[in-house]
Amino acid sequence: MTFANQCNEIFDQIVKLYHVTDDVDAVFSNPFAEGTIENDLARKNWIDAVQWHLEDIIRDENIDPVEALALKRRIDHSNQDRTDLVEKIDTYFRQRYEGVHVLQNATINTESPAWAIDRLSILALKIWHMREQTERTDADAAHIAKCQAKLDVLLEQREDLTTAIDQLLDDIAGGRKYMKVYRQMKMYNDPETNPVLYGKK
């Protein structure tokens, strides 16, 4: 099995696991051993699943403003955790391919492997929830048909992205492409770079 297909299997497994309780406060029990890439991929998708549902909750027009602010803070924290984990997954790839001889005519990709895999994780969630829409018994035929068409596109998109990721990893392993990772420099979370925060000192 290719690496990207392994990712898809893990992501589908974790999305299904999340929906056993469908609770943003559920405790995540990672089915994969600590210290493995599988563990990191599973944890990444769990973060995405929780955040997906937090984003649904915060869009309730009748939500209490105090609760909405608390949710916004939680989403901000989740985004930082997501970014940190993507960077950890990219570190795995850098270590995996550090001994590769890079060819003279090698090129760089528009995104790192982990950020492409991040998109696979989100696609797993989109596919799950769009499939839910196609199975609704309280929606009319037009809604079902529209959602089925969208689901077909999402499935095709995942197939294409899976192929592209595996091709990218093959190119990196063969020295035809090289990794160059730029760490995310989120300024708004940093009390030393966000003027609203450092202005309070």
pLDDT tens-digit series, residues 116-146: 999 999 999 999 999 999 999 999 999 999 9
Q: How high is the pLDDT of residue 182?
A: 73
Domain count, the chain: 1
Q: Locate tokens 């982990």: which residue?
A: 114
Query: How far, in Å, CA of 26 to CA of 24, rounded?
Result: 6
pTM of full prediction above 0.95: no
Burial class (CB in 10 A: 0-12, 13-18, 19+), 171: middle
Please tell me the predicted confidence (pLDDT) of residue 196: 65
Confidence of residue 200 (pLDDT cuts 50, 70, 90): low
* pLDDT, tens only, 39-52: 999 999 999 999 99
- Tell me the average pLDDT of the chain: 93
pLDDT of residue 14: 98
Can you tell me the mean pLDDT for 159-179?
97
Among the listed residues 73, 85, 20, the one whose alpha carbon sits nearest the alpha carbon of residue 47: 85
Q: What's the mean pLDDT in 13-21?
A: 98
Q: How far apart are alpha carbons 39 and 17 in whole angstroms?
A: 14
| Pick from 94, 74, 106: nearest CA to 171 | 106
Query: Residue 62 sits in which domain range?
Result: 3-198
